[in-house]
Structure 1
Amino acid sequence: MERHFYWVRLANVPHWLLETPTRASGEAFDEPWMFTEGHVLVDPGPLKSRISHPGQKRTFLFAGVEETPLGHEEIADVFRTLAPDDVQLFPVSIEGESDRSFVVNAIKAVDAIDEARCAEVQHYREGTFPEFAGQYRWIYGLRIDPSKTEGAQVFRLKKFKVALVVSEDIKNALEGVGNLGVSFERVTGPSEG
């Protein structure tokens, strides 16, 4: 039986907007994308985030232009229970909120893109952004090969790190928490369109 995986995306639902997490002092990180790179990080210490636009509070969403995954305690519990070897959870205080929240850092990046089954892939043109050579600029109808996920339940894709991918078990558990600011796009099996 094939394992199914899902790309976690920002949902088209009303939600509040949170700024990219910073150090508790307010100092920004030199590399604000670090929480989306798919590798283990040294504990950054106390973190904080501010509400940049009020709206409906959600249990799981992406903060800032970097799309840092942030989840409430119940969301962190899903990852702690079902994917303890695939994520780091860093406490983050959200200004004006008493609920405990966490940055969810996927610590694995796997090479599992099935380019032939994707609807459309766009590569960075040679010479335009040398630091992105060999990576994908964007992928429509993303498809991965589940046999290449190295047993991970949560991961980033090596050449397309914008995609946070979770197993069906994780997806179902997150949906069980409810009030999500994210949606799930299946990236395994036949194309959906």
Structure 2
Amino acid sequence: MELDQASFAIPVAHARVVDIFERLGVKDVQFIPVEIESQPDRYFILNATRVVKCIDDARSGQVNYWKPEDGQPAKVGTYRAVHRLRIDPTKVGDARIFRTWGWVVTLVVSEDIKEALEREHVSGTRFVEV
């Protein structure tokens, strides 16, 4: 597998993915080397360092926020769940890879990154238009 998500939605990428990102000049991403047992190839944790407040609550299927009565004071005001995520592209600016503010389990990539990964037949990815 070339790009996969470990526990807690942490993408793990093959060295080939790192090469693609470097060729594209993608910023706002870190690649942290990791060793995967029984895998001789090089793998990296893909850490998107940019967070964009761009979730479009009205266009998304359903959104729920953490409330004080939920007993998670550090999470109050952030998203508890987002179904059928939609973003407001006017709020994205020049970001090509980012996580959404308040719902960081989602990794968003631009169309050019998506197309490059598909062109290179990178496995382990699933793209959903947001």
> Does TM, normalized by the shorter one, top 0.5?
yes
Alignment of 1:82 with 2:24, yes or no, is yes
CA distance in 1: counterparts of 2:104 and 2:67, whole angstroms: 18
**CA apart distance, 1:69:** 0.6
Alignment of 1:183 with 2:126, yes or no, is yes
Q: Following TM superposition, where does structure 1 have runs of at least 4 consecutive aligned residues deviating by more than 4 angstroms?
A: none
Alignment of 1:29-178 (within 5 A): 58-64=1-7, 66-128=8-70, 129-178=72-121
**CA apart distance, 1:86:** 1.4
CA distance in 1: counterparts of 2:13 and 2:77, whole angstroms: 32
**CA apart distance, 1:118:** 0.7
Residue pair 2:14, 2:42 contacting (<8 A) in 1 also: yes
Structure with more helix by fraction: 2
Amino acid at match of 1:68: I
SS at match of 2:54: coil
Residue pair 1:83, 1:154 contacting (<8 A) in 2 also: no
CA distance in 2: counterparts of 1:98 and 1:177, whole angstroms: 21
**CA apart distance, 1:102:** 1.0
Amino acid at match of 2:78: Q
**CA apart distance, 1:119:** 1.1
CA distance in 2: counterparts of 1:105 and 1:81, whole angstroms: 17
CA distance in 1: counterparts of 2:25 and 2:49, whole angstroms: 11
* Residues 139, 83 of structure 1: alpha-carbon distance in 2 compared, 3 angstrom cutoff: farther
Structure 1: runs of 5 or more not aligned: 1-57, 188-193
Residue pair 2:29, 2:48 contacting (<8 A) in 1 also: yes
SS at match of 1:105: strand
Tell me the percent identity.
40
Residue pair 1:118, 1:139 contacting (<8 A) in 2 also: yes
Structure 2: runs of 5 or more not aligned: none
Residue pair 1:59, 1:179 contacting (<8 A) in 2 also: yes
Q: What's the CA shift string for 1:125-168, capped at 9, x where partnerless?
A: 33311111111111111111112113110000111111111011
Q: CA RMSD in A?
A: 1.4
Amino acid at match of 1:123: Y
- Relative contact order, higher structure (CA 8 A, sep 6+): 1
TM-score normalised by length of structure 1: 0.63
Query: How many residues of Structure 1 are paired with residues of Structure 2 in the alignment?
Result: 129
